Every structure is written in structure tokens, then in C-alpha cells.
Amino acid sequence: MKNNKELIFSWPVIVIAFIIFWPVGLGLLVMRMNSDKVLLLQSGRVLSLFSWLSGCLVLVGITANIDEGYDSFDIGLITFFLIATIVLNYFGRRLKRKGLKYKKYIDLVVNSGIMDIETLSNLMSKPYEEVYSDIEEMIEKGYFKRTYINDKHQIVIVSSKVNDVPLDSSSSNSDEREIRKVVVRCSACGANNEVGINKVSECEYCGSKIQG
């Protein structure tokens, strides 16, 4: 099942879908961006860039034919890129807002250690229910691992230190485990991670590579 999902959302399939019938390609692209932890944090900017490019093609289409007039092919092409511009802009803005919101939650929960939904709701200026479902969604997407919301509506992270062993360390002897650590801010999600000095590790929250 997982392999099927990976195939449907793979880049070649998305590109082919764009060529055959672009709304399907766009749908797959947005779904991929929405389900990929790292992409989701950055995808808004990518879609906005495509939206600008598409908008430029609309302007080129309009100005290039301004003297000769427009035949039905020109009008079709201009309409196609106009709709693409609007749709890309819409999804780009939505995903950008979502990415920024997730980064803000990561900053508050991970970096500032705020675990109370009520406090988060106040700090985010969002209704309590919305914050609750946002955090549930982030847990589901895997940003917060080994995490749950308890009866007192507090976010509980069972252990945040399990993933600390550097990826390139195959040794398990105790000397290797006592590596000196530094706190590194993940460039993708903004979470502070403890990483062994000069070691490449994976961000515990979004999975991006980080260098200690």
C-alpha cells in the first residue's frame, strides 16, 4: 500500500500527469506536498513561483498577439495559463500559511517547551479546538513522534532523546555514545536538535539532514 502511494506521488508520475491533463498533475503535486513533512514546510514558495511563471506566460501571450488579434488557439492557451496561475496561487498561499503555522507550533512546543493546548491557543491567537486538531494532525503526519495529547489536554512527548545517535555511527560502544553535542537549529522546520559535533544527523521533527 505504501509502495503504491509512493508510486502515485513520484515525480515522473506527477510530470506525466501534468502533460496529459494538468489538473490531475496539480492535484497529485498538492497532495504530495501536503503529505511530505519537509516539502510541506517549503512547498508554498515553490507553488507561488510556478504561479508567477504561469502569470508571466499569460502576459507574454496577451502582448505577443496584441497587434495581430487572437485566434481560438491563443485564447485557449491564455485561458489555460490564467486558470493555472489562479489555482497555483490559491494552493501556494494555502500551503505557505500551513507551513508557517507548523513552524510556529514547532518553535513553541519544541524550542520553548510549551505543552499546554490552552497556552498554545492564546499564543497562536487561534481557537482552542483548531489548535487541538492542528497538533493532532502534526502528530499524525509524524512531526511529533512518540507524542500524544493527554486527558488534561497537555502535549506529552514520551522521549525526545531516542533519535540522538548519529546516522553515520555504526559503533555502539559506550565511548562512541558519549559524543559531545551541540544544539543546532533545523533549517527546514526551525526545531532545535541536539547533534553530535561534526556528525550528520536527522532532524527529529521533520527528518531533514542536519550537521552538528
Binding segment toward Zn ion, per CB under 5 A, in 6-14, 112-120, 154-162, 183-191: 183-191
**Distance between CA atoms of residues 57 and 148, nearest Å:** 47
| Closer to Zn ion by Cβ: residue 74 or 202 | 202
According to the binding rule CB under 5 A, does residue 186 interact with Zn ion? yes
Nearest to 93 by CA among 36, 172, 33, 19: 33
**Distance between CA atoms of residues 35 and 137, nearest Å:** 11
**Distance between CA atoms of residues 21 and 26, nearest Å:** 9
Question: Minimum Å distance from CB 23 to Zn ion?
Answer: 32
According to the binding rule CB under 5 A, does residue 206 interact with Zn ion? yes
According to the binding rule CB under 5 A, does residue 138 interact with Zn ion? no
Among 188, 195, 196, 199, binds Zn ion (CB under 5 A): 188
Question: Minimum Å distance from CB 101 to Zn ion?
Answer: 15
Residues at the contact surface with Zn ion, assessed by CB under 5 A: 186, 188-189, 191, 203, 205-206, 208
